[in-house]
Amino acid sequence: METVSKIRVVLVDSQQLMLECLRDRLNSELTINVVGTAANSDDGVRVVDELLPDVVVVDMELPGRGVFESINDLRTRHRQIKILILTSLQSDILLAHAIQVKANGYVLKTEPLSVVIASIHAVAEGRPVFSDPVRSRLDFDSEQNSYSLKTNQAAADLTARQLEVLRHLARGASVKEVAKLMHLSQKSVDSHKYRIMNKLGIHDRVDLTRYAIREQIIEA
């Protein structure tokens, strides 16, 4: 009997129930093996470094440095690993940054499980995958074989690190707390905070939070 080659998957999600349910359901598939899980961005990078899976399925809302910093880290060391973002957030800004860090897919948690399973197979085979509401906001350049956002967003000009700082601040974290979460100095976070507000034309934390919620950069 021919042995089925399973896709080795690591799941990274801050919700333990989501992790356990998705792990158990994916492991019931003949072609998928969840080899590890993590509940924050730092542990996610560590687990991927140790296990070297074929596919990482990662949520957008992660404690720690955040999803884009983590993907950047993994891209520098493990270019062969595929990254599938699985999230409830449909922000154009987050989508633009997902493309910048070369995520292989962006799938919404509102999709049925069958779509998530098919998406894991697609990215493992080197095919990009997007939920329909996401794909409708993208243009595809067949010559460059690349996707880009149809609309321009001011926050898309932020670096991945600045976007993560913005999201932590908008959730109510202090500069000191953000520095600890992201392994940065308070001076560095203050500098990022100034540049973020300058780029976005925002002058206080309240307006920053309102902006993040309105643009679906964080969950309300």
DSSP secondary structure letters along 61-80: --SSS-HHHHHHHHHHH-TT
Second CATH level (architecture) for the domain 7-149: 3-Layer(aba) Sandwich (3.40)
Residue pair 35/8 in contact (Cβ under 8 Å)? The answer is yes
Residue range 148-167, pLDDT digits in tens: 887 766 566 788 889 999 99
Supply the pLDDT for residue 1: 46
* One-character DSSP codes across 119-178: HHHHHHTT--EE-HHHHTTEEEETTTTEEEESS--GGGGS-HHHHHHHHHHHTT--HHHH
Supply the pLDDT for residue 156: 64
| Backbone phi, psi, residue 136, to 5° | -65, -15
Q: What distance in Å separates the CA atoms of residue 209 and residue 206, rounded to the nearest whole number? A: 5
Supply the pLDDT for residue 3: 59
Supply the pLDDT for residue 125: 95
* Residues with pLDDT less than 70, the chain: 1-4, 152-156
Residue 88 C-alpha from the chain's centroid: 11
| Backbone phi, psi, residue 138, to 5° | -115, 150
Residue pair 147/30 in contact (Cβ under 8 Å)? The answer is no
Supply the pLDDT for residue 42: 92
Query: CATH 1.10.10.10 spans which residues of the chain?
Result: 154-214
Question: In terms of Cα–Cα distance, which of 202, 212, 201, 102 is closest to 164?
Answer: 212
Supply the pLDDT for residue 153: 62
Query: CATH 3.40.50.2300 spans which residues of the chain?
Result: 7-149
Supply the pLDDT for residue 26: 97
Q: Specify the CATH class of 154-214 in words.
A: mainly alpha
Q: Is the pTM of this model over 0.95?
A: no
Supply the pLDDT for residue 86: 97
Supply the pLDDT for residue 2: 53
